[in-house]
Structure 1
């Protein structure tokens, strides 16, 4: 099952100390699929980095299932990401010299010996569900953008996360490829009961989510509400 997220008084700042984003209150229930939209540069990726513990916060708390990730030491934050989160980055971050299965099962390099076979099997299963099982032995250097994104999604799911974070997962994909990816990812998330938080401009993807949040004037709000979300 997924994890619930609770954000309180979150302030994120830039290199010069300027405030980039403010989230007074945000609650996301376990297993909910949520889209975060807003103009480029509004802070969507910054927010994903903050809730995953990849970015320090200036103020506030980021609590997953009762644990304030923002307050954890760096090594404990890394352990939380490894154990609970699957992250799909906008630029894929794949290893060109590895094949699809090698990339999708990269978490085996950080896992306990007894968990490695399970992770590799999850990676193979995810590649199959995402429609590229036949290409699992090909080096990703030969892959299209859509195939690369599917490998990135399979990698995010292979370690058995309870939360999936995705940053513009359909960016730079043609409409047909993007729609197929949306269908497959949403199906996998629903089946596994994951909490999903995705930053996106894509109206087709946004329409499939349970909730839609927006970044307006440096604050995350929910359309239809006057104030910040709760």
Structure 2
């Protein structure tokens, strides 16, 4: 992907990921070579167990490969310590999951602002960053509502706001539309598209939905831990 383009935001060479040892070992990824251009929206597709989430975790510095190399903005992060990788996630990577993970007793604003405090953002900046992120996803007008008062699509938008409040360069989303109907799913993808266009953010997501795949820039298919055409 993107051969001959400017430096990719992510690059992997010969990534293998093996869980367990000996006869009990399971190879989740094998020989993964890819490049992801800056500012692109990329979907990883494949059946359950194909390796999508494992690859996403490696790209997001949540996991390390058994073999191979990962470059993030030109830096080899493969041998980084957990402390270094944690700092990278806090400053440059946003994470969105299938389950929204919002605190039920907190308002939309409080959920986003609390996420900033946990990430170590100075107290004098958390309000500004939280409100700006909620505005980006179209939820500023409903920021005082608690999760139970919001639709599934609205809750996912709040979860996205929480993930982007620190203005990461990379947003990783694991099945972000799986719990939503098709209309709300398209709304979430439209937000991702706006983030790539307005902020230059790169978005990598996993999905089973053909309609979602039609809306992204690139689709990578995984089968038995390998990228296939």
Q: TM-score range by the shorter chain?
A: 0.7 to 0.9
1:73 partnered with 2:81: yes
Q: Match for 1:11 among 16, 27, 52? A: 16
Normalized against structure 1, the TM-score is what? Answer: 0.87
Asked if the contact 1:119–1:160 (Cα under 8 Å) also holds between the matched residues in 2, the reply is no
1:52 partnered with 2:60: yes
User: Using the alignment, how far apart are the partners of 2:124 and 2:40 within structure 1?
Assistant: 29
Pick closer, same or farther for the CA change 1:204–1:124 going to 2, 3 Å: farther
Q: Which 5+ residue runs of structure 2 have no aligned equivalent?
A: 1-6
1:32 is matched with 40
Equivalent residue of 1:154, what SS?
helix
For the aligned residue pairs, the C-alpha RMSD in angstroms reads 1.9
Equivalent residue of 1:71, what SS?
coil
CA-CA distance at 1:197 after TM superposition: 0.8
Matches within 5 A, 1:124-139: 124-139=131-146
How many residues end up aligned between the 2 structures?
Answer: 219
2:3 is matched with none
What do the CA deviations read for 1:35-63 (whole angstroms, capped 9, x no partner)?
11011221111111111121232111111
1:62 partnered with 2:62: no
Q: Which 5+ residue runs of structure 1 have no aligned equivalent?
A: 224-230
1:226 is matched with none
Q: Match for 2:197 among 182, 190, 198? A: 190
User: Using the alignment, how far apart are the partners of 2:199 and 2:124 within structure 1?
Assistant: 19
What do the CA deviations read for 1:1-25 (whole angstroms, capped 9, x no partner)?
x961110111112244211111431
